Amino acid sequence: MRTKTDRFRHTILYELLLITLAVPILSWALDLSPGKLGAYSVAMSTLAMIWNYAYNLSFDHLLLHQGKPLYPRGFFLRLLHSLGFEGSFLLVCVPAGMWWLGYDLLTALTVNLSFILVVPIYTMGFNWLYDMTFPVAEPVTH
């Protein structure tokens, strides 16, 4: 299982790269100022980092509880992991987007659903590369 330090590094790198890629593109696509969208992104990123840590730790413990190995993770397990994280985080992002960006429910939901269609691809790619760059010393099967 990954250490707390490793999980922290994973979370920070994930969010920094996502913000760096997303803010310029979304600012243009949504016709929002980069400053307003950037501040919103940092706030959502902070919440996502907290949730990321808790979600990933819980996901690993669930796998161990079921007697499944943590690594390697195939395509479908990574897909389930990514969609579970994004789907649960949607419950925070929609109300936050309504409040911070002044969107109505439908607009906030549409923007977030659009983001959710793209982010799992980023998440899968990032996690795959992260696992190759920072491999776990030995697989834990419990």
- What is the dihedral angle through the alpha carbons of 107, 103, 95, 100, rounded to the nearest 10 degrees? 140
C-alpha 80/C-alpha 90 separation (Å) is: 15
**Under a CB-based contact definition with an 8 Å cutoff, are residues 128 and 67 in contact?**
no
Tokens describing residue 121: 């691809």
Q: Using alpha carbons only, give the angle 4, 9, 13 rounded to the nearest 5 degrees.
A: 150
C-alpha 84/C-alpha 75 separation (Å) is: 14
Tokens describing residue 8: 């922290």
Cis peptide before 139 (omega within 30 of 0): no
pLDDT (0 to 100) of residue 140: 54
pLDDT (0 to 100) of residue 139: 59
pLDDT (0 to 100) of residue 83: 83
Q: What is the pTM of this model?
A: 0.67
pLDDT (0 to 100) of residue 141: 58
Per-residue pLDDT of the chain (142 residues; tens, 9 = 90+): 788 899 889 988 998 999 998 899 989 988 889 998 899 889 988 988 888 888 989 999 999 999 988 888 889 998 889 888 888 888 888 999 999 999 999 999 988 888 778 887 898 999 999 999 998 876 555 5
Tokens describing residue 137: 């010393």
